[in-house]
Structure 1
Amino acid sequence: MSAFPIILLLFLSNTLASESNITQHGTDVVEVKNVELKQRSYSHNLILDHSIHQRYQDPLNYYIGVPSEVFTKIPGLTFTVHHTKPMLYRLSFQALCTVSARNSNGFLRFLIDGRVLISNYLLPNNDKRQTSAPELGDSVLYIDHRGGGVLYTGDSPGAGLACLKWDDVYMREGTHIVEVAGRTGFGVLRVIGGQLSVDLIQYDSTANIQLPFPIIR
């Protein structure tokens, strides 16, 4: 057999190891089966498994009406997964939002296992999280601005704004819960029709994705 058919077979076997599945509903734990590379090739950063999962806000309108430095979970936007190998989570959130007060901030964040994901740190969801990671900033307000996902009303309170937030986190094996949460400096934060997407990717153990596991404080 010539060299070209052999290379083609190796490529196809590696490509088929990565399957894309989409789940859009359900609250059960998603079980990710371990995938092993059966044949070694010269490919780098090989993806062994890939699946996309979406969750939708319920109810359609949700109001966070108590100003707080603690994030409030948005119902319906919860994804639970179990995997036996490390996986990259590519997280994205979109919705329509309003903040009722003038010159007020609204904040959106991903929670991983109840902790706030900020700059590859998992911080306690309380009003003292700056003390857990002083290297990120000296106040909750400063830390929560890192990486965006912030709404600001300016002189137009109540105007509909696009809520967009995305982040990547490389999680160790185990069972993990992903959620979306929000908070407001003052006024009422209204979240409308939110959608959470979790893109799960398992790489071959030789891949170098240049993203360490998050620092847990």
Structure 2
Amino acid sequence: MPRKYIRTTQAKYSNEDLMKALNAIEHEKVLAILAAKRFRIPSLTIYNRLADRFTDTGRGVQTILSKEEESFLIHVIHNFQEWQQPMTPSAVKSIAKDYIIKLGRNDYMDSSLKQWFYGLMMRWKNELKLTKDIKLEKSDVDAAMIDSSSNTFIDAQYFHYRSILKPYYTVDPYGFNGTIEYFKIPDLQFTFNHSTPLLYELQFQGSCSSLIKNAQTLIQFRYDNRWVTNSLELWSPIEGFLTLCHKYARVYLPAGFHTIDFEVRTTGRIIIYFGELYIKLTQFNPNSQTNLQLLDLK
């Protein structure tokens, strides 16, 4: 008896369906993946159309980020590498995940991130040179990886990134009363939970400007709502001009849940136009002797 084969085909959609899906995402705040299901459009088509700045993207390659956003991510990776930090695929995906969440795109799963990473490497193959991952035993913490260029003292390293997405005033521009105050910048707050001691290396760089004459600004990191002695950096932003400021800190914290804040203390109204916080966490072999002193947070 002859067999009949029926070839399955994808559901067809019209340009009108596609426009309705894009309008639902933009105006009704519908998640892209839900709009794809509602209008029976492949989700990758939706993602690629949302990031329609990619003219050379291959079919089926997921973008998640626009070309401008990916360019910014490449800038972050290059800065880590200039800071002599080996960037591995795991490290890049960890930093990208932080960035995607920061942009409010929480509908992407880890599987989508993996597909996107392969597309990223194709699109930026001439600009990105990464170090290979070395597989670790299963850990409770995402993005754990061993620095393949390090010695046996290091068990694992973790990389994270925070940034200021829009200009930030240290005080209300209309309510300044002349007193010296401390301000935490919410965009730069970092929290991490770990079961072994970790060495925190923090690098901040940014630009700010004063709204009054003769302003002085102190910047520092606060650990679990505590300051570290002699950790201040003094800057004097010039009125009407951008001043570049930076700060580096290195602290060894015990196991537990920790919060790092970037704080500004200023004698006048300061606006921070741009700021980046690079975070490198290092876990040492428990049998090694590092001569590092744990910070007492009691």
TM superposition score normalised by structure 1? 0.63
Residue 214 of structure 1 pairs with residue 295 of structure 2: yes
**Aligned match of 1:82:** 193
List alignment gaps of at least 5 residues for structure 1: 1-17, 36-42, 119-145
Matching residue within 42, 59, 63 for 2:169: 63
Report sequence identity in percent.
Answer: 26
> Is 1:47 matched up with 2:129?
no
Q: Distance in 2 between matches of 1:50 and 1:202?
A: 6
Contact 1:82–1:175 (CA under 8 A) maintained in structure 2: yes
Mapping for residues 128-139 of structure 1, pairs under 5 Å: none
TM-aligned CA deviation for residue 102 of structure 1: 2.6
The Cα of 1:107 is off from its aligned counterpart by 1.3
Q: Match for residue 150 of structure 1?
A: 234
Report the counterpart of residue 109 of structure 1 in structure 2: 220
The size of the alignment, in residue pairs, is 160
Q: Contact 1:64–1:182 at 8 Å: present in 2 too?
A: yes
Q: Distance in 2 between matches of 1:74 and 1:179?
A: 7
Q: Deviating runs (4+, > 3 A) in structure 1?
A: 66-70
CA-CA distance at 1:207 after TM superposition = 2.8
Match of 2:244 among 162, 168, 171: 162
Q: Which fold has the larger relative contact order, with Cα–Cα distance below 8 Å and residues 6 or more apart in sequence?
A: 1
User: Which structure's CA Rg is the greater one?
Assistant: 2
| CA deviation after TM superposition for structure 1 residue 100, in Å | 2.6
Aligned with 1:99 (options 210, 213, 217): 210
| Structure with more of its chain in strand, by fraction | 1
Distance 1:101 1:62 in 2: 16
Matches of 2:233 and 2:160 in 1, distance apart? 21
Q: CA deviation at 1:19?
A: 8.9
Note the C-alpha offset of 1:110. Answer: 1.2
What does the per-residue CA deviation read over 1:84-129, in whole Å, with 9 as the maximum and x for residues that have no partner? 00000001111111123333211111122222234xxxxxxxxxxx
Instruction: Tell me the distance in 2 between the aligned counterparts of 1:110 and 1:204.
Output: 27
